[in-house]
Structure 1
Amino acid sequence: MTEKLLNHRAEGPTSAPALLLGPSLGTSYALWDKVAPELSATHRVVRWDLPGHGGSPASLIGPGATIGDLADLVLALADSLGVERFAYAGVSLGGAVGLHLALHHPERVSCLAVICSSAHFNGSKPWEERAALVRREGLAKLAETADARWFTPGFTVPRLVADHRDADPEAYAACCDALGAFDLRDRLTEITVPTLLIAGRQDPATPPAHLREIADAVPDAALVELPHASHLAPAERPEAVLTALRTHFDRPAGRGMEVRREVLGDAHVDRAQARQSPFTARYQDFISRYAWGEIWTDPTLSRRERSMITLTALVAHGHYDELAMHVRAARRNGLTPDEIGAVLLQTAVYCGVPAANSAFATAQRVLEEEG
């Protein structure tokens, strides 16, 4: 493990969309043990440890740390893994990191789930007191009350309680500093990432009202309240959390099919779906999820611009059947025949005259058929 990076565990196909999972204060990535393996069937799941927790070095954080500092560590981890854009879910402190990422780095976050967390954690005083206690006495005494703070009566996860006890006191206290200074209530309306809030009805640390406050402010956010769940819902109610996350994180795939139809036309997509077999089903799902659900829905570029880029790439590689399809798509995306011609003329310079010659013939045929 690199000393400058958060300890993490990656699961799932490397070609699948990335999903980062953040922990709660005092826990390790074991918090996600009953959820991450299931999510990894459709995502490249990366769960990470807080500094001084699990396998992450305590030196990654210091006194006076902020949620922004933790978010920067998460982005550094994503960069090291070659992950440019990712879905994100986090619990409590991990959820606060997700809110910060969605607000300050929306180009990196495709979808957000905030679990048993808050836009504020009741001010700085209780966290200053806890940080001072931990720096003075360590974590053994605080870990004795973990079950009451984390779970409904009678439930426990010994591994997580042990992780709490074994965390580095200085790093834990620095995380308390970050929680005490965190307050995004006046900026929640600026978050544009699709957002799901999950609350545990028996959560004493971040009651449902805290999640409802976020849901009411973030545009189009959804809220799910889980009965018989306290603060660490993924450990106590993994099936319910998994169901909510699957529904939420599958939304880009559904949007992808919608965009695919808008750009390529119903007739083309219907033909592709009709030809689908068990052998090609995963590939068709991949196209809808990744190409159309992730790339074509990214608002950074307009559809007109994406059409021009796509036409150029198809000419460069000689994919003229695909080029015909995307000439039609370019017309749907608002390009005029003259603009399409200008794009193809540009390819003559950078892709070669023979390639452009074939491309002009293909495009002329399509434009004549389109009238």
Structure 2
Amino acid sequence: MTLLHHRADGPASAPPLLLGPSLGTSYALWDAVAPELSPTHRVIRWDLPGHGGSPAGLLSPKATVADLAGLVLTLADSLGIERFAYAGVSLGGAVGLHLAVHHPDRVTSLAAICSSAHFGGSAPWEERAERVRREGLAGLADAADARWFTTGFTVPRLVRDHREADPASYAACCDALAAFDLRDLLDRITAPTLLVAGRADPATPPAHLREIADAVPSAALVEIPGASHLAPAERPEAVLTALRAHLGGDGRRGMAVRREVLGDAHVDRAQARQTAFTARFQDFITRYAWGEIWTDPTLSRRERSMITLTALVAHGHHEELAMHVRAARRNGLTPDEIGAVLLQTAVYCGVPAANAAFAVAQRVLSEKSDADAGTAG
């Protein structure tokens, strides 16, 4: 089985994020963005057929965006990825729109950047495909800067990728763009959707992204000034900011729950101590422990506090125990209920473990009592 050439960055345990390229480019289009997303996501960048490292011959003449989407799903399957967030530029964004419409069970969130639900009708793309099959890509590559970037800006690596792409594969991608029109199906998209437009983009101007935003329920639209068609290369900071806000649902939710349970003072201290070395671990805890486990409605926070206290006693994690005695009080447990939980641990975790736990809990509960007495009246 021949797969699209791809690159994976980030922890294997992190939520997967697939990044799709624009016609004529390689996954280098994401060079300034992907490394910044990889601490929190398993980032998979892929190359179009005949572009970058992907082999030619994966697409035939008269190919469709559905064919490209099928290649992306085959890649995801080969990597053991069932559900994924997706972001794509231009043709890569069209692939994401197709996936969100026709394979909604696979797409957890969608970002279409400098893209469209249609690309100006079939004639221009059919003409380009015919020209490329006849003349090759040299002429188009010479004019790439004007199509891709604002005046005076360029990325030589991307222009070189354009020049070195396989003409037959490029033309097949043009065929796919010629046949693409999802305007009547956009209201089927249920994944959280972000649209990013470059205000100076002549190929897919902001009106194209606004058309999608108006049709997709609850979609968000961001316009980036000073960006043309390849916004991730020209304005990576702005694209990164938009993607982080869009993709950070579990992180934002987890941080909110973490603060509610542990208190602002504790979380602020943990954040202040965070270093580049510990950043990924802190993100993992916030996203997974607090954003997924503690938000699961199957158990109440009171019940989760009782379980957590028991586990910490069993393993002798006394510093964590003190923190979670305070958390248990925030979650509504009374001192008597905390004492009952610790007494239960004496039976199943051992009397010495429970004895040490009672000492920790007594100290913490006394701190609270002292604070209450000090503020009384």
TM class by shorter chain equals 0.7 to 0.9
1:82 offset after TM fit, Å?
A: 1.5
- 1:68-147 alignment runs, 5 A limit: 68-147=66-145
Consecutive unaligned residues in structure 2, runs of 5 or more? 313-347, 349-377
TM-score normalized by structure 1?
A: 0.74
SS of the residue 2:57 aligns to: helix
Partner of 2:262: 270
SS of the residue 2:95 aligns to: helix
**Alignment partner for residue 49 of structure 2, among 48, 51, 55?**
51
SS of the residue 1:209 aligns to: helix
Q: CA RMSD in A?
A: 3.1
> Quick one: structure 1 residues 303 and 67, their matched pair in 2 at CA, closer, same or farther if it must change by over 3 Å?
farther
Code of the residue aligned with 2:229 in structure 1: it is H
Partner of 2:225: 227
Partner of 2:152: 154
Partner of 2:243: 245
1:252 offset after TM fit, Å?
A: 3.1
Please give the alpha-carbon distance, in whole angstroms, between the structure 1 residues aligned to 2:134 and 2:18. Answer: 33
> Quick one: structure 1 residues 160 and 125, their matched pair in 2 at CA, closer, same or farther if it must change by over 3 Å?
same
Q: Quick check: 2:40–2:280 contact (8 Å CA) kept in 1?
A: no
1:32 aligns with 2:39: no
TM-score normalized by structure 2?
A: 0.73
Q: Identify which range, 230-239 or 245-254, moves more after superposition.
A: 245-254
> Quick one: structure 1 residues 111 and 138, their matched pair in 2 at CA, closer, same or farther if it must change by over 3 Å?
same
Please give the alpha-carbon distance, in whole angstroms, between the structure 2 residues aligned to 1:175 and 1:296. Answer: 45
> Quick one: structure 1 residues 120 and 290, their matched pair in 2 at CA, closer, same or farther if it must change by over 3 Å?
farther
Q: Cα deviations across residues 311-360 of structure 1 (Å, max 9, x unaligned)?
A: 9xxx9xxx9859xxxxxxxxxxxxxxxxxxxxxxxxxxxxxxxxxxx9xx
SS of the residue 1:59 aligns to: coil
Partner of 1:169: 167
Please give the alpha-carbon distance, in whole angstroms, between the structure 2 residues aligned to 1:135 and 1:88. Answer: 31
> Quick one: structure 1 residues 281 and 150, their matched pair in 2 at CA, closer, same or farther if it must change by over 3 Å?
closer
SS of the residue 1:198 aligns to: strand
1:42 offset after TM fit, Å?
A: 1.5
> Quick one: structure 1 residues 218 and 293, their matched pair in 2 at CA, closer, same or farther if it must change by over 3 Å?
farther
> Quick one: structure 1 residues 123 and 251, their matched pair in 2 at CA, closer, same or farther if it must change by over 3 Å?
same
Partner of 1:15: 13
Please give the alpha-carbon distance, in whole angstroms, between the structure 1 residues aligned to 2:32 and 2:193. Answer: 22
Please give the alpha-carbon distance, in whole angstroms, between the structure 1 residues aligned to 2:7 and 2:132. Answer: 28
Code of the residue aligned with 1:147 in structure 2: it is D
Code of the residue aligned with 1:212 in structure 2: it is R
1:69 offset after TM fit, Å?
A: 1.0
Code of the residue aligned with 2:222 in structure 1: it is V
SS of the residue 2:115 aligns to: coil
1:123 offset after TM fit, Å?
A: 1.2
Please give the alpha-carbon distance, in whole angstroms, between the structure 1 residues aligned to 2:264 and 2:152. Answer: 53
SS of the residue 1:50 aligns to: coil
> Quick one: structure 1 residues 285 and 154, their matched pair in 2 at CA, closer, same or farther if it must change by over 3 Å?
closer
How many residue pairs end up in the alignment? 305
Code of the residue aligned with 2:181 in structure 1: it is D
Please give the alpha-carbon distance, in whole angstroms, between the structure 1 residues aligned to 2:136 and 2:279. Answer: 54
> Quick one: structure 1 residues 290 and 170, their matched pair in 2 at CA, closer, same or farther if it must change by over 3 Å?
farther
SS of the residue 2:109 aligns to: strand
Q: Cα deviations across residues 28-78 of structure 1 (Å, max 9, x unaligned)?
A: 011111111111122111111000000001121111111111111111111
> Quick one: structure 1 residues 296 and 98, their matched pair in 2 at CA, closer, same or farther if it must change by over 3 Å?
farther
Code of the residue aligned with 2:85 in structure 1: it is A
Code of the residue aligned with 1:91 in structure 2: it is V
Please give the alpha-carbon distance, in whole angstroms, between the structure 2 residues aligned to 1:112 and 1:281. Answer: 25
Q: Quick check: 1:17–1:290 contact (8 Å CA) kept in 2?
A: no
1:106 offset after TM fit, Å?
A: 1.9
- Higher Cα Rg, which structure: 2
Please give the alpha-carbon distance, in whole angstroms, between the structure 2 residues aligned to 1:144 and 1:218. Answer: 37
Please give the alpha-carbon distance, in whole angstroms, between the structure 1 residues aligned to 2:293 and 2:48. Answer: 30
Percent identical pairs in the alignment equals 74
Partner of 2:355: none
Partner of 2:193: 195
Please give the alpha-carbon distance, in whole angstroms, between the structure 1 residues aligned to 2:188 and 2:265. Answer: 38
1:212 offset after TM fit, Å?
A: 0.5
Partner of 1:335: none
Consecutive unaligned residues in structure 1, runs of 5 or more? 323-357, 359-371
Please give the alpha-carbon distance, in whole angstroms, between the structure 1 residues aligned to 2:196 and 2:280. Answer: 30
Q: Quick check: 2:63–2:176 contact (8 Å CA) kept in 1?
A: yes
Code of the residue aligned with 2:163 in structure 1: it is R
Q: Quick check: 1:109–1:193 contact (8 Å CA) kept in 2?
A: yes
